[in-house]
Amino acid sequence: MVLPLAMPALTATSAMGVGVEATRAALHGRRGGLSPCDLPGMPPGIWVGRVPGLEEVALPAELARFDCRNNRLAELALRQDGFAEAAEAAAARFGAHRVAVVLGTSTAGIAETEAAYARRDANGALPDDFDFAHTHDLHALPRYVRARLGLRGPAVSISTACTSGARSFLEAGALIAAGVCDAAVVGGVDTLCRMTLHGFNALELLSKAACRPCAADRDGISIGEAAGFALLMRPEDAPSGSPLLLGTGASADGHHMSSPHPEGLGAVAAMRAALDAAGGGAVDYINLHGTGTRANDAMEGVAVRTLFGDSVPCSSTKGWTGHTLGASGALEAVIAAICVADGLVPGCLGVEAPDPAFGVDVATGNRALPVRRVLSNSFGFGGSNCALVIGRA
């Protein structure tokens, strides 16, 4: 692999804010985006991280067949922070066929299918206007973004549950290193849908209030929706001072479909691989996967303690956004870049007493300190693990 790679354009949209500046202000102001769930047909008594105004977002007319909540969120995010313009500039510079689109999602536009099931006819058939390929299909996301940005490089759809967004950085890095492309639009988009909320409800993993990752008395996840995008290219092709992707690492647990390895062996392996790829330097802050479930956070505490003891401040930002699943790794990569730019360790939101069993330095209030490198963790069902190191040269 050829690392580092530069990220001359970044953007994120989640319940805590539309675009980088709103996200930054919410982090500094400690204003979370979670609220009681008011979407119809969802499990009762839960909180979610909903992006306001998605219902009003319109896709360009020529791409209307891609219309679904997931692609509307992608569209809203692409309009922020000059991201679409930066991708178009990369296409002009390298050639549109030399810019890949590599994006993660866990459920794409499956909310359209859920709605179509409610409109089945007397024979059980779905309505004729239901467009599987451009909404439900995982490939609908990179196809939409590729068409929207006028790119002609490879379109890659990644779906490794909650590591999807992080994993896109690693896969795009391989495409650039192997000479398939010169730049890539990477990231992840996932949106609220009944399958996900009822699924986590069936697993009894949903919090009854705003999630509080790392709290001693944490009681589960709040699900959120988000889009995070980054433009990746070689550092010599990007403006100096661009945030850098310094390291990527991945592993599998090979242990169980839904329970993490209790000692976090897979998590340790992914973090170690990312740190090695980054050249082995110190990190100043760890943005945890930190979902707020008993099992994930305990496992991650053990894994972080194994590698770092209590020497590195860590926190989860899911108290602001909820767990945005296949988007979380991309959203949190953007948050990591904000932390580096601002010298910020955002302490866990709503946590009075971190779990003492972790034995790590959990920040519960914001800290201002030099942050040169951030380690960002993502873990998912199927034993999928991915870690990124983001920072400065």
Partner 1 sequence: MRCRIAGVGLLGPGLPGWAASRPILAGQAAWEAGPVALPPPAALPATERRRTSASVRLALAAAAEAAAASGLPPAELETVFASSNGDGAVVGAILEALSAEDGAISPTQFHNSVHNAAAGYWGIAAGSMRPSVSLGGHDDSFPSGLLQAAAATVARGAPVLFCAYDAPLPPPLQAHRPTEAPFAAALVLVPETHGAGTPLTVDLVETAAEGAAGPLASLVAGNPAARALPLLQALAAGRAGRIGLPLADGGAVVLELGAP
Active site residue ranges: 162, 289, 323
- The answer to whether residues 293 and 259 touch, using CB atoms and an 8 Å cutoff, is no
Q: How far is the CB of 124 from partner 1 (least distance, A)?
A: 5
- The answer to whether residues 47 and 209 touch, using CB atoms and an 8 Å cutoff, is yes
Q: How far is the CB of 63 from partner 1 (least distance, A)?
A: 12
Question: Could you tell me where the DSSP H helices lie in 218-315?
Answer: 265-277, 294-308
Q: How far is the CB of 385 from partner 1 (least distance, A)?
A: 9
Cα dihedral 56, 61, 63, 66 sign? positive
Q: How far is the CB of 353 from partner 1 (least distance, A)?
A: 30
- The answer to whether residues 9 and 81 touch, using CB atoms and an 8 Å cutoff, is yes
Alpha-carbon distance of 85 to 148, in angstroms, equals 11
Residue with smaller CB distance to partner 1, 252 or 369: 252
Task: Say which amino acid occupies 359.
Answer: G
Residue 375, classed as helix, strand or coil, is strand
Q: Please state whether beta strands 361-362 and 313-315 pair in parallel, antiparallel, or not at all (unpaired).
A: parallel
Residue with smaller CB distance to partner 1, 55 or 204: 204
Residue with smaller CB distance to partner 1, 47 or 200: 200
- The answer to whether residues 277 and 1 touch, using CB atoms and an 8 Å cutoff, is yes
| Residue 79, token pair as written in the block | 């309009």
CA 322 to chain centroid, in Å, comes to 11
Helices (H) and strands (E) in the chain — how many of each?
A: 11, 17
Q: How far is the CB of 303 from partner 1 (least distance, A)?
A: 13
Residue with smaller CB distance to partner 1, 255 or 294: 255
Residue with smaller CB distance to partner 1, 118 or 217: 118
